[in-house]
């Protein structure tokens, strides 16, 4: 073909492409100017809202009150005041009792006096304060690693970190019981996702054998203390697998810090491993550390990358100075007073022992602050929580779809502040009320189909 002929064909092809694009932008019949566009769907007609309404209807039919959003009047420690009445409290993350410690409160008050209530900007713009650097240095020392960074939200810490580090050509392998923030981070990343059965290292290795070679980077994610089951991962085996198959390993210590290990350092202490063998340590400030926010600890390059690119850090306001100060003081008390950790773990061991003697099913929980009492049926769990509150014990249910259909439970959060009598009372009351509801066959007669929302 001559040069002029080739040019003619190129021009013709370009013209046809332009026509196709123009046509694709033309309004469809009935949707042009002046035409009636479909109305936005009312929120009450969305499928999720209809599901909520259906759950409410089922609860009302079974005389089960909505168990969430209970109002606490004052500090929620080993006891709390709900509806003007003092109750035993097993529904707070204050594992070591530091939320009501006057030293922590004073640190927050001094930070407000010095820096104000808000940092009034992101860390990159105007939000940096010395207390942020001090907290990050203390977190790095806690793990014996080079660097740390704090986020304004624990959920955002996971979502932003995973969402940035992983991409479309990467693979994330995660424990089936991983937290919602991990799930959100994986979706944001666009990476391929593979779930393995809880703490099943054989299943994880099978997935690695089948999938690892197809992807650029691979990340294994587990929790240091699982918030639904109260058990910990086999970190030594996870480290061996991540080395064998060339992966990064991320451990979410949100519930583990202060609760796991002889002095509450976390899952690395309990498992006897070097923290440097884990690539990414994540945690929150809202549990043991009596504050709000999240953190990442690891190598200097990791922290440099996240400080420059993690959206939840770059584009969010800095952690409030008072929250940074309270977390820092709580972390210092954790290091100085390991007896608090021993009291917490002794309390958990007592709860587990009394539950076993009474025939309650606590699953695979260890003595690490979180103890589920498995009851199976979701409505039964909600009604049991209601009955316990009436008898002065505040504990919340976890129900489908957060857990599997027959995996509903009451989730007891233990504290170093609980007394032996309070724990014994909670277990005995749970046994009595659960027996009453089961003797009435509560919830069992309801067809499972009603929950197929």
CATH number at residue 386: 3.90.1150.10
DSSP assignments along 308-331, one per residue: HH-HHHHTSPPPPHHHHHHHHHHH
Backbone angles phi, psi at 417, to 5 degrees: -85, -15
Domain count, the chain: 2
CA distances from 145 to 158, 165, 257, 325 (A): 19, 19, 15, 21
CATH number, domain of 185, equals: 3.40.640.10
- Domain housing 347: 50-95+338-451
Task: Give catalytic status of residue 187 as yes or no.
Answer: no
Return the pLDDT at 37: 84
Q: Which of 156, 227, 326, 355 is catalytic?
A: 227
Q: Examine residue 45 and state whether it is found in any structural domain, yes or no.
A: no
Residue 8 counted as domain residue:
no
Last residue of a domain, one of 304, 320, 336: 336
Tell me: do 424 and 294 sit in the same domain: no
Co-location of 318 and 354 in the same domain: no
Same domain, 65 and 159: no
Q: Which SS3 state, helix, strand or coil, does residue 210 take?
A: helix
What angle is formed at CA 181 by the lines to CA 180 and CA 186, rounded to 5 degrees? Answer: 95
- β-strands 171-175, 280-284: how paired? unpaired
* Selected catalytic residue, list 132, 287, 383, 418: 287
Task: Say if 27 falls within a structural domain.
Answer: no
Q: Look up 75 and say whether it is catalytic.
A: no
- Of 103, 104, 106, the closest CA to residue 326 belongs to 104
358 and 308 belong to one structural domain: no
Pairing of strands 294-298, 147-151: antiparallel
DSSP type of residue 444: T
CA distance 141 to 133: 12
Please identify which of the residues 142, 198, 242, 255 carries the catalytic annotation: 255
The per-residue b/e assignment along 215-228, b for 16 or more CB within 10 angstroms, e otherwise, is beebbbbbbbbbbb
Looking at the structure, tell me whether residues 305 and 352 fall in a common domain.
no
Interatomic CA distance for residues 98 and 76, integer angstroms: 11
- For the stretch 5-55, pLDDT in tens is 555 555 555 556 555 655 555 454 445 565 678 888 999 999 989 988 888
What integer pLDDT is reported at residue 18 of this predicted model?
52
pLDDT digit string, tens, across residues 158-190 = 999 999 999 999 999 999 999 999 999 999 999
Judge if 160 and 220 occupy the same domain: yes
Listed residues 336, 361, 395: the one ending a domain: 336
Same domain flag for 326 and 376: no
Domain boundary among the residues 305, 336, 367 is at 336
What percent of the chain is modeled with pLDDT above 90? 79
Q: What are the tens digits of pLDDT across the range 52-86?
A: 888 888 888 878 888 888 899 988 999 999 999 99
2 inside domain = no
| Statement to judge: residues 56 and 150 lie in one domain | no
Residues 152 and 220 both lie in one domain: yes
Instruction: Report which secondary-structure segment, H or E, holds 218.
Output: strand 218-223
Is the domain of 312 the same as that of 195?
yes
Residue 354 resides in a domain:
yes
Contact status, residue 365 vs residue 432, Cβ threshold 8 Å: no
Instruction: Please give the average per-residue pLDDT across 255-276, as a whole number.
Output: 98
pTM listed for this prediction:
0.88
Residue 218's pLDDT is what?
A: 98
Q: Say whether pLDDT at 450 is over 50.
A: no
For residue 441, tell me if it sits in a domain: yes
What is the structure's pLDDT at 220?
98
For residues 125 and 217, membership in a common domain is answered with yes
Structure tokens at 156: 């955002």
Asked, for residue 29, whether it belongs to a domain, the answer is no
- pLDDT tens readout for residues 316-338: 999 999 999 999 999 999 999 99
Chain-wide mean pLDDT for the chain? Answer: 91
Q: Is there a single domain that holds both residue 158 and residue 282?
A: yes
Where would I find the beta strands (DSSP E) of 224-270?
248-252
Query: Considering the domain boundaries, does residue 31 fall inside one?
Result: no
Residue 287 catalytic?
yes
């Amino acid at each position: 073909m001559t040069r002029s002929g080739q040019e003619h064909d190129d021009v013709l092809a370009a013209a046809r492409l332009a026509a196709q694009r123009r046509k694709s932008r033309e309004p469809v019949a009935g949707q042009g100017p002046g035409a009636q566009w479909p109305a936005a769907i009312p929120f009450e007609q969305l499928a999720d809202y209809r599901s909520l309404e259906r759950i409410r209807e089922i609860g009302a039919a079974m005389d089960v009150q909505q168990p969430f959003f209970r109002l606490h009047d004052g500090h929620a420690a080993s006891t709390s005041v709900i509806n003007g009445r003092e109750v035993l409290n097993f529904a707070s993350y204050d594992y070591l009792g530091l939320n009501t410690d006057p030293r922590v409160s004073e640190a927050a008050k001094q930070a407000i006096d010095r820096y104000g209530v808000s940092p009034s900007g992101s860390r990159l713009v105007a939000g940096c304060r010395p207390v942020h650097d001090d907290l990050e240095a203390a977190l790095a020392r806690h793990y014996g690693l080079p660097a740390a960074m704090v986020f304004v939200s624990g959920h955002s810490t996971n979502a932003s970190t995973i969402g940035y580090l992983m991409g479309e050509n990467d693979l994330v392998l995660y424990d089936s019981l991983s937290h919602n923030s991990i799930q959100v981070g994986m979706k944001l990343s666009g990476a391929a996702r593979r779930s393995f059965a809880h703490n099943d290292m054989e299943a994880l290795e099978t997935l690695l054998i089948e999938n690892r070679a197809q992807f650029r980077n691979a990340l294994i994610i587990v929790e240091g203390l699982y918030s639904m089951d109260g058990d910990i991962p086999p970190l030594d085996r996870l480290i061996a697998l991540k080395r064998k198959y060339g992966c990064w390993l991320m451990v979410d210590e949100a519930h583990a810090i202060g609760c796991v290990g002889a002095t509450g350092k976390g899952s690395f202490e309990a498992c006897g491993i070097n923290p440097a063998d884990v690539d990414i340590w994540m945690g929150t400030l809202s549990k043991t550390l009596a504050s709000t926010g999240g953190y990442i600890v690891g190598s200097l390059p990791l922290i440099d990358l996240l400080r420059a690119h993690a959206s939840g850090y770059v584009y969010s306001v800095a952690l409030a100075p008072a929250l940074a100060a309270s977390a820092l003081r709580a972390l210092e008390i954790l290091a100085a007073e390991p007896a608090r950790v021993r009291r917490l773990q002794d309390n958990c061991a007592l709860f587990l022992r009394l539950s076993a003697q009474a025939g309650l099913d606590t699953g695979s929980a260890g003595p690490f602050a979180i103890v589920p009492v498995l009851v199976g049926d979701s409505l039964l769990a909600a009604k049991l929580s209601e009955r316990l509150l009436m008898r002065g014990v505040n504990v919340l249910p976890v129900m489908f779809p957060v857990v599997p259909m027959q995996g509903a439970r009451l989730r007891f959060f233990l504290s170093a502040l609980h007394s032996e009598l309070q724990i014994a009372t909670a277990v005995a009351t749970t046994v009595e009320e659960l027996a009453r509801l089961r003797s009435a066959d509560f919830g069992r007669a309801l067809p499972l189909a009603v929950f197929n929302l």
